[in-house]
Amino acid sequence: MMQPVRKVVVVGRDGPAWMAALSLQRALGRAGLEVSVVELPSLLRGADVYAALPSLRSLHDLLGLDEAAVLTAARGVPMVAQRYSEWTPGAAFLQGYDSVEAPGAFLSFVQLWAKARIKGLPVPFEEFSYGAMAARLGRVPSESDDPEALGATYGYHLDANAYSLLLRTLSERRGIKVRSTPIADVEISEDRILAIELADGQRIEADLFVDASGAEAVLISRLPQSAFEAWDAFLPCDRLLAASAPRLSPLPAFSQVTAFDAGWAGMFPLQERTAVVAAYRSTEIGDDELLHKLKADVGMPVEGDAVVSTIAPGVRKSPWIGNCVAVADAAAFLEPLDSLQLHMAHVCVTQLINFFPVDSDTRIEATDYNAAVRLHASNLRDFQQSHYKLNRRTGQRLWDEARSAEVSDGLAQKLRVFQARSEAVLYDEETFEAGSWASMFIGHGLTPEGYDPRADLIEEQDHIERIQARLREIAGSIPALPTIEAFLTATQIPVKAPAPAS
């Protein structure tokens, strides 16, 4: 007789572990599910930042976390866009989060732009993006109720330690039992975890174990069928540096991701400091040399708290084996680009609830979860790899190799069709909609040679008018949006006075 799943133990640390525990309790607690956490020592460095996509806000809504509480506790600021610079020498672009166009529209705006560009329009695509232009002016946009109107949304930059603590506190307040004793042993029989033994002798059994331990994957990597698929052929960096720099004033509405010869370095504004992250390849530069380079060449005034670690992008062949479900970095590891750090956790937890087992024979659920998580992660990998693939930094080994690196069939097809018709093909399990792919491709210089032929149905005068109307609408409405500081103040967060110039 198959037993229903009544008891889940989350083994893990930091944002993803608490996110998993809170979400599972929220979705299934009233249905009788008991959720507890075995907490492992944090892997976060003091300077770490979570850059989060706008979708994190919908998770917060589900969990009953309000925006003011999150931003106050996590010293966070709205993230309206990302600015990629030097991926083509001398060039930069902003990628925002524009509202998805009304489904009724038979041509997306990118078609109008692509045609106008071919006819000689000199205005960059980003100037037609509501989110990108709001970010440029340091404003926080909102989505319009009118599906025809322009709008954009925003994510967050959050202090990773403070955010994790917020979720941990909330977990305890909601009655989730937390044990912080080290794990002594994991008892395994075939493909199932029977129990976890803690250092104090406690033996913890569960119907389902969630591995939220990060890249270490403390549970799932012990199971016999466990295997990891490395993505180093697609994403070249193997080292990650985290550090802090002084607060920027006024606070930018975007993160800044700058390519340099050995990788990229990003600046992520927070309320009281700026988080600095650099991903690079150890064959190109040493850790000490990197610190020097960040200060001297990239212009990032890194403080003394810099910490370096190893990263290995890739995905588990089976993120769910037996009664063990890996989430977040334990399931798939991506670069901290594109504000995805908490996103894989969000995707995994959503899929786990979607495929939550109806009894202890979980083979079907595991198969579906594995397929969905792997597909989702590989679509994200394709998005990240596109930054590298489209670079124009010639004469630098890492970047020359990245331009000629292999891509998945799906990405190859996306690139070809985009070049021919200015439209991004979308597959199942995509995080980013067509507009995000388009602005990323165009931003990196993939200029379409053709467009949807139906764009020619629009009379030239009407076409020009539509282009101008969009620029007018953006220019007219963005100055009325709140600045980052005004937004924080309105959210009742005291804003620190700008640091005196030193």
Partner 1 sequence: MNDPVEVVILGGGTAGWMAAAALSALLPRSRCNVRLVESEEIGIVGVGEATLPHMKNFNDAVGIDEAEMIRATKATFKLGIEFRDWGFLGSSYVHPFGIHGASETSLGFHHKWLRAAQTGHESNLEDFSFAIVASRQNRFDFPAATGKPGIASTYSYAYHFDASLYAAFLRKFVEARGVTRIEGMVRAVNKTPGGDIASLTLESGEVVSGNFFIDCSGFRSIILGEALGAEWEDWSNWLPCDRAWAVPSANVGELTPYTRSTALDAGWQWRIPLQHRTGNGHVFSTGFTTEEQARETLLANLDGQALAEPRLLRFQAGRRLGSWHRNCLALGLASGFLEPLESTSIYLVQIALMHLLPLFPGRQTEPALRDEFNRRMEVEYERIRDFLILHYHLTNRDDSELWRYCRAMDVPESLTFKIERFRRRGYIERYREGLFTPPSWLSVLVGQGLKPEHYHPTMDNVPAEEVARELEELRTDILDRVEEMPKHEAVMARYTRDGFASDPFAFGLNA
Positions that interact with partner 1 (CB under 8 A): 4-5, 27-28, 30-33, 353, 355-359, 364-365, 368, 413, 416-417, 419-421, 423, 425-428, 430, 450, 452-454, 456-457
Residues 6+ apart with CB under 8 A from 341: 15, 50, 51, 52, 160
Q: How far is the CB of 101 from partner 1 (least distance, A)?
A: 15
Integer Rg of the chain from CA: 23
Shorter beta-carbon distance to partner 1: residue 13 or 463: 463
**Dist. CA 186–CA 184, nearest whole Å:** 7
Q: Cα-Cα-Cα-Cα dihedral of 373, 374, 378, 380, to 10°? A: 10
Shorter beta-carbon distance to partner 1: residue 302 or 407: 407
Q: How far is the CB of 411 from partner 1 (least distance, A)?
A: 13
Shorter beta-carbon distance to partner 1: residue 53 or 107: 107
Q: How far is the CB of 456 from partner 1 (least distance, A)?
A: 4
Q: Cα-Cα-Cα-Cα dihedral of 465, 468, 470, 475, to 10°? A: -150
Q: How far is the CB of 420 from partner 1 (least distance, A)?
A: 5
64 and 96 Cβ atoms separated by less than 8 Å = no
Q: How far is the CB of 407 from partner 1 (least distance, A)?
A: 14
Q: How far is the CB of 356 from partner 1 (least distance, A)?
A: 5
CA atoms lying within 13 Å on the CB side of residue 197: 7
**Dist. CA 351–CA 369, nearest whole Å:** 6
Q: How far is the CB of 358 from partner 1 (least distance, A)?
A: 4
Q: How far is the CB of 449 from partner 1 (least distance, A)?
A: 8
**Dist. CA 226–CA 76, nearest whole Å:** 37
Three-state SS for 275?
Answer: strand
279 and 237 Cβ atoms separated by less than 8 Å = yes
**Dist. CA 3–CA 1, nearest whole Å:** 6
* Strand pairing category for 34-39 and 49-52: unpaired
**Dist. CA 10–CA 192, nearest whole Å:** 15
Shorter beta-carbon distance to partner 1: residue 312 or 457: 457
Shorter beta-carbon distance to partner 1: residue 15 or 448: 448
**CA geometry: angle 378, 381, 384, nearest 5 deg:** 160
